[in-house]
Structures are given as C-alpha cells and as structure tokens.
C-alpha cells in the first residue's frame, strides 16, 4: 500500500499485487516520501527501516551489496560505490588523517598507485610502495604512524601472488589494517576476510558484473566503526552508485560463478597452449611449474587461480603490433573481466608512462601481453592465438 496517497502531480498509486516479481525492481526514485512526520522521525532515529534520498542509499545498491557480502563472508554490510576507484579512495582518504603513513603493494592498479603517490602526500599522508610478496620488506617499511597496507592478491599484469598469510600476521602484530583489493581473484577463488584481511575492496566493473556495461565498486570492513566511517565518507563525498548500474550488476552477478569457473578453466588451458607455441618466450600463470609463486597460489587460491594469463612474444613492438592485428575477434582493450577475451599491451597502454628500463625491471618487455580470458569456446580461442602468433613473425 506504499504510494497510497500519491501526490497532486503523481496521483496514481502502484497497483496492488498478491504475488511478487522474481526480478528486483529498478528503483530510480531519488526522493522517498514519508506518509507521516512521525514515520520520518522514526526512520532517522533508526526505529523504522527506510530510504530517504538515494545518495544516502537505495534498494538496488543494497541488493548488490548484500550479494557481495554473502560471497565474501563480510562481517558487516559493505558499501557499494560508483566505481572501484571510489571504493579505493573511500579507504585511503576516508580513514586516514594528516600524519598517517600508508603502505601499498608496488604493483597495484595504476590509479590506486597514483592516488597514493600524488594525492595522499598532498594531504599530509605519507606513502611507501613495497613488494607484497616480501613480508620482511613490508615489515621494514612499517612506521609507528602506519595506518594500513593496501595489496592486491594477484598483481597486474605480472600475476605475482602476495603473501597474504604473512601480511595478516604482521598486520595483527603491528596493529596495522590489512586492506585487500580482491578484484582479480574474486571471492570465487579467494576470500580475504577468511585470511585475516580487515577491509576488502572490489571493482565490480570487472569480473563480478562481467559485461563491460557497469561501473561500480564495493568496500566492507571487519570493524564496525570503520565500516560505518566508510559508508558515511562515501555518502558525504557523493560516491553513491546509480540504481541502473546496480540493477545491471545484480543481473550480471547472477551468473558470476559459472562465468568465473569457465573463464579460469579456459585461462589454464590457454596458458598451457601458449607454453607449447613457437614464438612465445614466456607464459605467466600461477598454476604453472615455472611460476615463482606457484606454491603460494595453490595454498591461497584453492586451485581456482584467475582468468588472466600473461605471456611474452619473442620480439619487439613490431611483432607485438602484428600479433594484435592478427588476433581476430579479440578486443584490444586495457580492461578485464568481460564476457569476451581482451588482450592488452602494457608497454603501450597501462604502463606507457614508465621508462623502458623500469618496465624491464617489472618484467614487461615490448613483447609482453596480458590476456583477460572470456567465455569463448576454448578450442576456438586457442586456435586464434596459434594463428595470430604464427603470423606475427615480421
């Protein structure tokens, strides 16, 4: 009987129905009207559950948040934000203050690195970047003022695996918050809260929504006060997601488990296939015997790994460009997690700003590619790579 009263200009109440829709309705209303002043009072005082204004929260965001809470085993209801970067910013800016120190993994997502390198220092928060696979190095970087450490479980694009277990122990010992950006691994392969993380971040934009038509983020904290702080900061700074993106994300997430399992099985298969091809110098996938973090990946990721495969062509920019032109049907795009396979070339895109020497140090030559494996038929996909690599000898 909501909407019973209507208004002068919107006089028609919603039709009553004894049955309910199986699909979550899209709630585009920014404003929520209260039937009586008394009810609004009770809403603000917490006695009555209800929405007031969509920046403060709305049903579609809460449904998406609830789904991820369940997948992650989140101790408190997470906050859905307008992008993954909004979630990262909510953590880095919402719970730090002038004088604090923050540590970041040295191969974080580019914008996260930028936020740490350029924006936090401007506000009096100092930052250090450290290899998250080296707990001794992280220990050495910790100061009395260190507030948090932000890491990604599997790094992009070199697919190194962070020592989450060692970091969690260190963080507990030092009273530092461990923040894990779980975008790559997803809760299907890894649940950071089970391994001692204090805060979990997602770019829902990538694998969770999965169709490259939604931009959203998520963050949840173990500590209730920090969780509330993150929610308030995201509302105050207007990081609220749109109902439409939230609705689309929910739709995408209904098939997430199936998509992830398929994409990661194909990724494993493609890694094996690439390893046997002439013209491929190196293949990087965490399940491989030649991966430096294979044992750690086995322990943390429970045999699920990820849908990303990186490899290095034998050659320079000319061979790389020839491969890209020859990879028919694969989108050349620097994002990941789409239903279709995408290939990206870090030297000319995500890591373009680095010097060639720095890229070499990070293991990214001119022949280096990152593949985000999608849902194509695995045989067909392997054939496309065989063909494009065979044709790229210049």
Which positions are annotated as active-site residues? 55, 109, 181, 206
Q: Which is nearer to ligand PLP, 96 or 205 (CB)?
A: 205
How many Cα atoms occupy the beta-carbon half-sphere of 30 within 13 Å? 3
Q: Which is nearer to ligand PLP, 83 or 344 (CB)?
A: 83
Q: Which is nearer to ligand PLP, 148 or 389 (CB)?
A: 148
Closest listed residue to residue 183, CA positions, set 95, 113, 85, 255: 85
CA distance 122 to 344: 32
Closest listed residue to residue 126, CA positions, set 108, 110, 109, 148: 148
Q: Which is nearer to ligand PLP, 184 or 256 (CB)?
A: 184
Residue 60, strand partner residues: none
* Shortest Cβ 172–ligand PLP spacing (Å): 24
* Shortest Cβ 359–ligand PLP spacing (Å): 19
* Shortest Cβ 342–ligand PLP spacing (Å): 12
* Shortest Cβ 85–ligand PLP spacing (Å): 4
* Shortest Cβ 81–ligand PLP spacing (Å): 9
Q: Which is nearer to ligand PLP, 181 or 366 (CB)?
A: 181
Helix (H, G, I), strand (E, B) or coil at 312: strand
Q: Which residues have C-beta within 8 Å of that of residue 239, sequence separation ≥ 6? A: 81, 82, 86, 87, 89, 90, 217, 233
What do you get for the CA distance between the two ends of the chain, in Å? 71
* Shortest Cβ 88–ligand PLP spacing (Å): 6
Q: Helices (H) and strands (E) in the chain — how many of each?
A: 15, 12
CA distance 125 to 116: 9
Closest listed residue to residue 159, CA positions, set 74, 286, 347, 317: 286
Q: Which residues have C-beta within 8 Å of that of residue 220, sequence separation ≥ 6? A: 68, 69, 72, 74, 75, 76, 77, 78, 79, 199, 200, 227, 230
CA distance 310 to 296: 18
Q: Which is nearer to ligand PLP, 266 or 350 (CB)?
A: 350
* Shortest Cβ 341–ligand PLP spacing (Å): 16
Give whole-number Cα distances, 129 to 57, 92, 171, 352, in Å.
34, 14, 16, 19
- Applying CB under 6 A, which residues contact ligand PLP? 83-85, 88, 109, 112, 152, 181, 183-184, 203, 205-206, 215, 217
Dihedral class, residue 210 (left if φ above 0, else alpha if ψ from -120 to 50, else beta): left
Q: Which is nearer to ligand PLP, 217 or 243 (CB)?
A: 217
Q: Which is nearer to ligand PLP, 59 or 105 (CB)?
A: 105
Helix, strand, coil percent values for the chain (each to nearest 5): 40, 15, 45
* Shortest Cβ 111–ligand PLP spacing (Å): 6
Q: Which residue's structure tokens are 């969509």?
A: 54
- Report the Cα 5 to chain-centroid distance in Å: 43
CA distance 117 to 120: 7
The residue nearest ligand PLP at its CB is: 84
């Amino acid at each position: 009987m909501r909407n019973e009263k209507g208004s002068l200009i919107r006089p028609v109440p919603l039709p009553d129905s004894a049955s309910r829709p199986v699909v979550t309705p899209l709630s585009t209303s920014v404003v929520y009207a209260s039937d009586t002043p008394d009810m609004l009072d009770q809403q603000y005082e917490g006695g009555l559950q209800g929405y007031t204004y969509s920046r403060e929260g709305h049903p579609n965001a809460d449904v998406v948040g609830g789904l991820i809470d369940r997948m992650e085993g989140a101790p408190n209801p997470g906050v859905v934000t307008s992008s993954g970067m909004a979630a990262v910013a909510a953590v880095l800016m919402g719970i730090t203050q002038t004088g604090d120190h923050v540590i970041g993994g040295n191969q974080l997502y580019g914008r996260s690195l930028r936020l740490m390198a350029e924006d936090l220092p401007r506000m009096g928060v100092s930052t250090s970047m450290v290899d998250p696979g080296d707990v001794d190095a992280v220990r050495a970087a910790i100061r009395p003022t260190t507030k948090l450490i932000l890491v990604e479980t599997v790094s992009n694009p070199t697919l190194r695996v962070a020592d989450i277990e060692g970091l969690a122990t260190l963080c507990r010992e030092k009273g530092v918050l461990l923040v894990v950006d779980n975008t790559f691994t997803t809760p299907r392969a890894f649940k950071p809260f089970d391994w001692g993380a204090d805060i979990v971040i997602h770019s829902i934009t990538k694998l969770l929504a999965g169709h490259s038509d939604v931009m959203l983020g998520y963050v949840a904290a173990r500590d209730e006060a920090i969780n509330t702080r993150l929610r308030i900061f995201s509302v105050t700074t207007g990081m609220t997601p749109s109902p439409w993106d939230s609705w689309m994300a929910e739709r995408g997430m209904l098939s997430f488990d199936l998509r992830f399992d398929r994409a990661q099985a194909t990724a494993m298969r493609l890694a094996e296939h690439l390893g046997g091809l002439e013209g491929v110098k190196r293949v990087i996938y965490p399940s491989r015997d030649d991966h430096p973090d294979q044992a750690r990946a086995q322990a943390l990721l429970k045999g699920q790994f990820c849908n990303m495969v990186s490899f290095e062509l034998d050659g320079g920019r000319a061979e790389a460009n020839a491969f890209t032109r020859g990879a028919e049907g694969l989108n050349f795009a620097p994002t990941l997690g789409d239903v279709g396979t995408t290939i990206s070339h870090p030297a000319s895109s995500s890591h373009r700003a680095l010097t060639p020497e720095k890229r070499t140090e990070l293991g990214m030559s001119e022949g280096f590619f990152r593949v985000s494996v999608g849902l194509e038929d695995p045989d067909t996909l392997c054939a496309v790579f065989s063909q494009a690599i065979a044709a790229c000898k210049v």
